[in-house]
């Protein structure tokens, strides 16, 4: 309601040429911004928005982004930009450099959610004539939430001068949203045809609203038809969305499990410290970011090879120091590596911190690609999916096309025969384990972008990884990929109606039943190794 | 050579013995205060701060001349985030160390674990964290918020000031969120919210894949009615949750999230950009504009030798609880548990938001309720506060089975769960 009033006032102010004494209004409004009361600040924003002062935009913008401060001593408002531990100040009207000041000597002009959306709407109206079409698009999108006859009229005026087709489309939508409550049947019918199949939430809502009170049968039919086509589109988007969520969860599972597919799948070592190798990879990302605090993107790319080396190196140490002595004794290996996992966790707690550490997402990994109003794909997940496939392809290449891969497969299939052919099986064991561990480290880099990095990061992933590898069929890389994706998608299909907790339980029950039926997983390994 | 070693060790033993003697002698002249907070394990992140707070408060009291002419002495133990160990350590504090009061616990399960110990040995526990209510013990003083001092006012704010019509109650799957959401659901329905406008969702501890849930919230919020999320999501699961909200483009202006477990301490050290504008409800914020708060923060930062150290709500609860205990001991003239229990009811001390808090007969305290919006510097901008103080209610008025129950530890009633309908007191520990 306040928003509606706001638009009305704004509109009248725009067309009212009597708005003369704006300069002093502007100053008075600035004065008012110093108050603690949010209602007073809200009034001030409205005055500033229509003042026509060249600095109006800058003031509102700074206020929205937390860059507007009051100096406690001088009691005046200034722009402030953080520089190191101090703030660089600029005068609002003159743009004069006012030097630097400590934060304690100033008070920020605080805003709340209501003010924030008012600021955005005010900035949107100021942006409707912006030369950049993207700015205009954002501005119109901002207006859609609270469309009424007045703002629709503004849009109608702007539409005539608009030449960008995507902005035009949103403007028409805005006008239709207002027209749908018109008294003229033709106008209503026209509005329905615009809203037909439009996925913007307000379109569906206003159509259902219309259905409830519409008397005219023809219009009712048209509205029903329009709603139906929106519903169909929504369902399609819903399916696509579930699939995307499933694939992205699946790719996380595959990433976590793929290292284990080598150490457990190919070598047969039950490595309970697998999750901690992932954790080490995540901590490597953190440390690289600490060294390069200003460029998180570069740090992230740099940490991929580094994490491979760190986790791979630790893996080789574990193999040489512990596992080597325990080949053929799975139970002891299990216990020993469990001990190693506890040691690694405690090491991180003592050396770095028992608390979670912050890992920042680079700019290009935040946000999402909007396919339509109800379907948007988050960028970080898209990158993880691509990254997962890349790692899988690289690993596949190593195992199938390089001589190391050949030796690994030879030792896995028949150790004695491979040794007879001159393969140094001990060295191959160490390298294979290092490779699997290194991949786990790379998975840690990816996970650091999705979840909390802390000493307990690895624990849950150890179990998940074993689940994926066993389900997919021990010793089969394709099996791991298919199993991870299947489990991810199944989980996401079940989650909406079963809840996150129950979905996980159901998946586990399913796997247990499946293993009863097919003990060797989805893709059982064939040949002599399988019998052995 | 051998002889001299023996001689030396004998001397050493003698010194140790005499030292033991002197500490024992000194102990008789001090009043011992037990501090029962985890210093290791998962809860160490939050609880270590409270141990430091208690040490500072005791230190300050000693500088003021102690209590009843004696110095206060802190006895710190580490229950290591291990619930059964809490009970053992509590017994050790009371029986072996002979402390006169204990300040401690964080999670509800740790409090439930020590409760029988304090009741059996008739000692005092001050519990500083917001909790789900439905409990009142003769031996426990609840200085954190009961649901009606945090959850209910938060919902009122969303309903009346932001015009929220649709509600998502999201929580971690354990006792505090489940009980709180049960109360909130009953409250919302009593206020006329239809069942289809409430969505309840539970996730496991440390949940990290929030895609589906955030997408569901987004869909739920697109129905044309103002929607808000009431979050009892616990601990570090909050970080990926807010991140996912940001990535899927859900802003605080469209769908605000109000949290009951996210405070200054939790925000320090994480990137708060995706959180800006989301809300939290507490009884205290570090940004409270009050002189007593400024001097408290100054003392705290000096004590921890860290000028970036933040203060938070449970710290204020300990501040209130400790001062109440001090006043009650002065009033009773003794530290004996029974006398302090009688004396402390009605004791009023300053809180950190510039007002006063009083101990009620149900062992809960009166506090203001504040709503803050997260800012990009990890602090809260206070956007709303109750006009007066809210008294903690042990038994929710909105739950079947608890609404007829009251708690009053004054004679002659002296009962934690008195049913006003049947006029019966049903023992001390009704769940």
Which residue among B202, B236, B246 places its CB closest to the CB of A454? B236
**A126: in domain:** no
Residue window 63-122, chain A: list those with CB within 8 Å of chain B: 66, 108, 110-114, 116-117, 120
Please indicate, yes or no, if residue A234 is contained in any of the structural domains.
Answer: no
Closest to B320 in 3D by CA, of B280, B288, B294, B353: B353
In chain B, how many domains are there? 1
Residue A158 lies in a domain: yes
- The string of pLDDT tens digits covering residues B161-186 is 888 999 999 998 888 899 999 999 99
Q: Is residue A302 part of a domain?
A: yes
According to DSSP, the β-strands at B348-350 and B356-358 are antiparallel
B170 assigned to some structural domain = yes
Other Cβ atoms within 10 Å of A253 Cβ, number:
27
Classify residue A371: in a domain, yes or no.
no
Of the residues A181, A207, A234, A378, the best mutation for testing chain B's interface (the one with the most B CB atoms within 10 Å of its CB) is A378
Could you tell me the residue range of the domain that residue A188 belongs to?
144-215
**Residue in B with minimal Cα distance to A376:** B248
A67 and A22 share one domain: yes
Q: Quick check: B224 and A202 CB within 8 A? A: yes
Specify whether the CB–CB gap between B288 and B370 falls below 8 A. yes
Beta bridge partners, B391, equal: B366
pLDDT per residue as tens digits for the range A192-219 = 888 887 888 778 888 888 888 777 888 8
Across the interface, of B45, B211, B256, the residue whose CB is closest to A113 is: B256
What pLDDT band is residue B18 in, cutting at 50, 70 and 90?
very low
Sheet holding A77-83, edge to edge: A97-101, A86-91, A77-83, A68-71, A106-108
Which residue of A41, A452, A491 is the best one to mutate when testing the B interface, meaning the one whose CB has the most B CBs within 10 A? A452
Nearest to B407 by CA among B11, B222, B136: B136
- In a domain, residue B367? The reply is no
Of B82, B4, B91, B99, nearest to B37 by C-alpha is B82
Q: What is the DSSP string of B207-266?
A: ----HHHHHHHHHHHTSSS-EEEEEE--GGGHHHHHHHHHHTT--TTTS-EEESS--HHH
Residue B133 is assigned to a structural domain of this protein: no
For B188, the token pair is 């919302």
What pLDDT is recorded for position B9? 52
* CA-based nearest residue to B363, from B407, B332, B328: B407
SS3 label, residue A513: helix
Half-sphere exposure of A343 (CA within 13 A, CB side): 10
Entry field: residues in chain B: 431
Residue A276: pLDDT above 90? yes
CATH number at residue B218: 3.40.50.2300
- Note whether A530 and A286 are within 8 A (CB): no
Distance between B61 CA and the closest CA of chain A, angstroms: 29
Nearest CA in chain A to B218: A374
pLDDT digits (tens, 9 = 90+) for B199-218: 999 998 778 889 999 999 99
CB neighbour class for A507 (10 Å; exposed up to 12, middle 13-18, buried from 19):
buried
Smallest Cα distance from A107 to chain B, Å: 11
| Lowest-confidence pick of A36-50, B326-340, B351-365 | A36-50
Q: How far is A411 from chain B (nearest CA, A)?
A: 38
A460 in contact with B at a CB cutoff of 8 Å?
yes
In a domain, B212, yes or no: yes
CB contact under 8 A, B383 and A112: yes
CATH of the domain at A310: 1.10.3470
For A437-493, write each residue's pLDDT tens digit: 999 999 999 999 888 888 888 888 998 899 999 899 887 889 999 999 999 999 999
Residues 6+ apart with CB under 8 A from B320: B143, B349, B351, B357, B365, B367
**ipTM of the complex model:** 0.75
DSSP code for B354: S
Contact B271 A205 (CB under 8 A): no
Q: Would you say residue A368 lies in a domain?
A: no
* Interatomic CA distance for residues B183 and A141, integer angstroms: 38
A381 at B interface, C-beta within 8 A: yes
User: Domain boundary at A165, A181, A215, which?
Assistant: A215
Chains A, B: CB contacts within 8 A come to 112
What residues contact residue B376 under an 8 Å CB cut-off, 6+ apart?
A66, B272, B273, B276
Contact A66 B206 (CB under 8 A): no
Whether residue A474 is contained in a domain is answered as yes
Backbone dihedral region for residue B163 (phi beyond 0: left; psi -120 to 50: alpha; all else: beta): left
User: What's the rounded Cα separation, in Å, for the pair B277 and B265?
Assistant: 17
Domain with B226 in it: 151-259
User: Are both A259 and A319 inside the same structural domain?
Assistant: yes
Question: Distance between CA B160 and CA B200 in Å, rounded?
Answer: 21
A108 in Cβ contact with A69 (< 8 Å): yes
- Reading the block at residue A396, the tokens are 């596949």
* Kind and range of the H or E run holding B103: strand B101-104
Give dist(CA A385, CA A393) in Å, integer: 12
The answer as to whether B226 is a domain residue is yes
| A277 close to A441: Cβ distance less than 8 angstroms | yes
As for how many domains chain A has, the answer is 3
Cβ-Cβ contacts under 8 Å, B277 against chain A: 112-113, 116
In a domain, A166, yes or no: yes
Domain limit, last residue, from A118, A135, A161 = A118
């Amino acid at each position: 309601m306040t928003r509606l009033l706001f638009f009305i006032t704004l509109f009248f102010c725009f067309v009212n040429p009597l708005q003369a004494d704006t300069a002093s209004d502007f100053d008075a409004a600035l004065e008012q911004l110093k108050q603690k009361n949010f209602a007073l600040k809200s009034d001030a924003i409205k005055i500033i928005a229509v003042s026509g002062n060249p600095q109006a935009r800058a003031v509102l913008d700074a206020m929205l982004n937390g860059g507007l401060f009051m100096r406690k001593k001088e009691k005046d408002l200034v722009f402030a930009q953080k520089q190191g531990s101090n703030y660089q100040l600029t005068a609002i009207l003159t743009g004069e450099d006012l030097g630097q000041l400590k934060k304690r000597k100033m008070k920020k002009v605080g805003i709340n959610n209501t003010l924030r959306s008012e600021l955005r709407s005010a900035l949107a109206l100021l942006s409707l004539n912006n030369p950049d079409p993207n700015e205009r698009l954002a501005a119109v999108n901002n207006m859609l939430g609270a469309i009424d006859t007045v703002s629709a009229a503004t849009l109608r005026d702007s539409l005539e001068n608009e030449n960008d087709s995507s902005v035009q489309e949103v403007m028409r939508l805005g006008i239709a949203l207002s027209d749908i409550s018109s008294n003229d049947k033709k106008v209503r019918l026209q509005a329905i045809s615009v809203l037909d199949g439009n996925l913007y939430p307000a379109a569906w809502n206003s159509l259902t609203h219309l259905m409830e009170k519409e008397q005219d049968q023809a219009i009712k039919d048209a509205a029903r038809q329009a709603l139906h086509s929106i519903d169909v589109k929504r369902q399609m988007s819903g399916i696509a969305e579930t699939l995307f969520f499933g694939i992205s969860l699946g790719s996380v599972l595959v990433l976590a499990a793929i290292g284990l597919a080598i150490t457990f799948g190919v070598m047969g070592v039950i490595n309970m410290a697998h999750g901690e190798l992932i954790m080490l990879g995540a901590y490597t990302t953190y440390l690289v970011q600490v060294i390069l605090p200003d460029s998180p993107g570069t740090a992230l790319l740099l940490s991929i090879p580094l994490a491979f080396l760190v986790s791979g190196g630790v893996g080789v140490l574990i193999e040489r120091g512990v596992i080597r002595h325990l080949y053929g004794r799975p139970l002891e290996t299990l216990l020993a590596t469990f001990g190693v996992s506890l040691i690694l966790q405690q090491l991180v707690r003592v050396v770095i911190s028992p608390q979670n550490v912050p890992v920042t997402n680079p700019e290009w990994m935040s946000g999402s690609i909007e396919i339509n109003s109800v379907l948007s794909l988050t960028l970080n997940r898209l990158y993880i999916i691509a990254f997962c496939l890349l790692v899988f392809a690289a690993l596949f290449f190593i195992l199938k096309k390089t001589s190391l891969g050949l030796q690994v497969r030879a030792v896995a299939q028949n150790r004695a025969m491979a040794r007879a052919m001159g393969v140094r099986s001990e060295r191959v064991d160490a390298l294979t384990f290092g490779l699997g561990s290194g991949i786990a480290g790379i998975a840690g880099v990816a996970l650091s972008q999705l979840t909390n990095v802390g000493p307990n990061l690895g624990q849950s992933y150890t179990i998940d990884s074993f689940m994926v590898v066993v389900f997919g069929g021990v010793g089969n890389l394709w099996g791991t990929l298919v199993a991870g994706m299947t489990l991810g998608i199944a989980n996401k299909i079940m989650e909406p109606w079963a809840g996150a907790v129950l979905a996980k339980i159901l998946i586990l029950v399913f796997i247990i039943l499946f293993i009863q039926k097919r003990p060797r997983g989805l893709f059982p390994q064939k040949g002599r190794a399988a019998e052995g | 050579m051998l002889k001299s070693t023996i001689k030396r060790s004998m001397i050493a033993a003698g010194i140790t013995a005499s030292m033991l003697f002197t500490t024992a002698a000194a102990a008789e002249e001090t009043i011992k205060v037990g501090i029962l907070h985890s210093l290791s394990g998962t809860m160490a992140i939050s609880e270590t701060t409270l141990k430091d707070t208690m040490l500072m408060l005791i230190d300050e009291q000693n500088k003021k001349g102690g209590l009843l002419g004696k110095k206060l002495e802190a006895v710190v133990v580490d229950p290591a985030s291990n619930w059964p160990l809490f009970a053992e350590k509590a017994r050790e504090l009371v029986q072996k160390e002979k402390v006169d009061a204990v300040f401690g616990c964080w999670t509800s399960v740790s409090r439930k674990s020590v409760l029988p110990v304090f009741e059996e040995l008739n000692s005092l526990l001050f519990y500083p964290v917001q909790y789900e209510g439905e409990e009142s013990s003769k031996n426990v003083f609840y200085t954190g918020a009961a649901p009606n001092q945090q959850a209910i006012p938060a919902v009122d704010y969303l309903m009346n000031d932001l015009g929220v019509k649709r509600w998502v109650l999201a929580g971690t799957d354990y006792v505090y969120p489940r009980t709180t959401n049960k109360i909130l659901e009953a409250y919302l329905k009593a206020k006329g919210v239809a069942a289809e406008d409430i969505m309840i969702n539970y996730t496991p501890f440390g949940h990290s894949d929030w895609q589906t849930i955030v997408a569901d919230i987004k869909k739920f919020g697109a129905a044309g009615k103002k929607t808000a999320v009431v979050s009892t999501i616990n601990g570090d699961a909050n970080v990926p949750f807010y991140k996912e909200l940001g990535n899927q483009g859900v802003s605080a202006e469209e769908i605000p999230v109000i949290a009951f477990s996210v405070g200054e301490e939790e925000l320090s050290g994480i990137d708060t950009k995706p959180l800006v504008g989301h809300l939290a409800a507490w009884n205290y914020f570090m940004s409270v504009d009050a002189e007593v708060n400024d001097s408290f923060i100054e003392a705290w930062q000096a004590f921890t030798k860290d000028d970036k150290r933040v203060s938070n709500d449970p710290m204020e609860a300990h501040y209130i609880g400790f001062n109440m205990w001090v006043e009650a001991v002065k009033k009773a003239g003794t530290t004996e548990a029974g006398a302090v229990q009688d004396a402390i009811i009605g004791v009023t001390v300053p809180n950190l938001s510039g007002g006063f808090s009083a101990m009620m007969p149900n062992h809960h305290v009166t506090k203001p309720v504040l709503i803050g919006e997260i800012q990009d510097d990890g602090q809260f901008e206070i956007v709303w506060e109750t006009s007066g103080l809210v008294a903690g209610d042990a038994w929710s008025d909105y739950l079947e089975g608890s609404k007829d129950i009251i708690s009053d530890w004054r004679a002659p009633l002296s009962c934690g769960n008195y049913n006003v309908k049947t006029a019966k007191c049903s023992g001390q520990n009704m769940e």
